[in-house]
């Protein structure tokens, strides 16, 4: 994850995974906009009652990150 100022200067950068239980959290348990977006995407992908695979969770992360950055709704 990378955070930049309005001029594109990188202020901080991190990588890797943190344990956040987003594979099992409900929307009520989600903390912040990013987690709520992630959970909603995960729920859409699992509407056919098939468990969401690890690759699908990565897709949820990428879409949630893009939407939260695009629409400036990161908190």
pLDDT on residue 7 = 64
| Cα-based distances in Å from 13 to 9, 16, 18, 28, 42 | 11, 11, 14, 29, 26
Residue 69 pLDDT class (50, 70, 90 cuts): confident
The whole-chain average pLDDT of the chain stands at 78
Domain ranges of the chain: 20-75
User: Coil, strand or helix: which one is 54?
Assistant: helix
Comparing 6 with 54, the larger pLDDT belongs to: 54
Question: What pTM does this model have?
Answer: 0.60
pLDDT (average), residues 11-18: 58
């Amino acid at each position: 994850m990378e955070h930049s100022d309005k001029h594109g200067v990188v202020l901080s950068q991190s990588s890797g995974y943190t344990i956040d239980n987003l594979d099992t959290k409900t929307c009520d348990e989600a903390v912040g906009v990013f987690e709520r977006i992630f959970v909603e995407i995960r729920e859409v992908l699992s509407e056919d009652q098939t468990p969401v695979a690890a690759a699908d969770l990565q897709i949820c992360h990428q879409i949630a990150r893009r939407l939260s950055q695009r629409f400036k709704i990161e908190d």
